[in-house]
Amino acid sequence: MKIFLDSANIDEIKELERLGVIDGITTNPTLASVTGKKFKDLVGEIFSTLSDDKIINLEVIATDYDNMLIQARALSALDKRVVVKIPCTEDGLRACKTLSGEGIRINITLVFSAMQALLCANANAYYVSPFVGRLDDISSSGIRTIDDIRTIYDNYGYKTQILFASVRSLEHILQASLSGVDIITSPYKFIKQMYNHPLTDKGLDQFLSDWKNANQEFIV
Ligand code: G3P
């Protein structure tokens, strides 16, 4: 399973890029805005922070077909790592079909149902982004939606990749991996929680103290 960082924060991107465990990042207009940076400057910083093999998801802000095409083509032309996020609206689905036909990779975002995801696949989306946490927030089952999308895509051999978005907990990441999604995009704090464990810290302390007490010497 690929792991994306759901953030436009350069410090977070730098740290996890250095760690070597992320395959790319996702941003959205909210995440870009909270950085306080001009979008153009922010995008430039993101490009220079991530290596050549990473995926960078950038979102259009246009809501009509014609302007979605203009913005998506402009974002895509910036860098070969860019996947363009477009919202799951009538104009968005239409734009996805057109842009995918031009070879531009589209991530349809703000997806909340398996029926939306079915149309995204028919529109040749590269990624579909169901917002699991936001479904859970309204007491709807986000995981059930993910399972339904997986089943539908497998039934018909759709190539669209499922990108589990709106992560709220480590449990979400576990459920995502068990349900067979292609990618998860997680906030920084949950990726940190994935590798931090108190028993790892406790075990390491014990190893080092036993070593010291025995006056051991290492080979180099
Ligand atoms: O990037 C899209 C998505 O992951 C947003 O998540 O936490 O705002 O529901 P959230």
- Distance CA(35)–CA(37), nearest Å, equals 5
CATH number for the domain formed by residue range(s) 2-213: 3.20.20.70
Is 189 a residue of the active site?
Answer: no
- Distance CA(35)–CA(21), nearest Å, equals 23
Tokens of 175: 């459920």
Residue 167 near residue 173 (C-beta atoms within 8 A):
yes
Q: What is the pTM assigned to this prediction? A: 0.95
All residues at 6 or more sequence positions from 30 whose CB lies less than 8 Å from its CB, including other chains: none
What is the pairing mode between strands 2-6 and 55-59?
A: unpaired
Residue 10 near residue 170 (C-beta atoms within 8 A):
no
pLDDT tens for residues 117-156? 999 999 999 999 999 999 999 989 899 999 999 999 999 9
C-beta neighbour count of 126 within 10 angstroms = 20
Q: Residue 37 corresponds to which amino acid? A: K
> What 3-state class would DSSP assign to 91?
helix
In this structure, which residue's CA is closest to atom 6 in ligand 1?
A: 166
Report the candidate in 57, 56, 86, 55 with the shortest Cα–Cα distance to residue 70. Answer: 86
pLDDT tens for residues 9-23? 999 999 999 999 999
Q: What is the largest CA-CA distance in the chain?
A: 72
Q: Would you give per-residue pLDDT tens digits along the chain (220 residues)?
A: 999 999 999 999 999 999 999 999 999 999 999 999 999 999 999 999 999 999 999 999 999 999 999 999 999 999 999 999 999 999 999 999 999 999 999 999 999 999 999 999 999 999 999 999 999 999 898 999 999 999 999 999 999 999 999 999 999 999 999 999 999 999 999 999 999 999 999 999 999 999 999 999 999 9
- Distance CA(32)–CA(56), nearest Å, equals 13
- Distance CA(105)–CA(128), nearest Å, equals 11
In this structure, which residue's CA is closest to atom 4 in ligand 1?
A: 166
Our answer on whether the CB atom of 29 is closer than 6 Å to any ligand 1 atom is no
Catalytic: which of 85, 97, 159, 189? 85
What is the pairing mode between strands 183-186 and 2-6?
A: parallel
48 DSSP 8-state letter: H
Which atom belonging to ligand 1 lies closest to the Cα atom of 30?
8
How much of the chain is helix, strand and coil, in % rounded to 5? 55, 20, 30
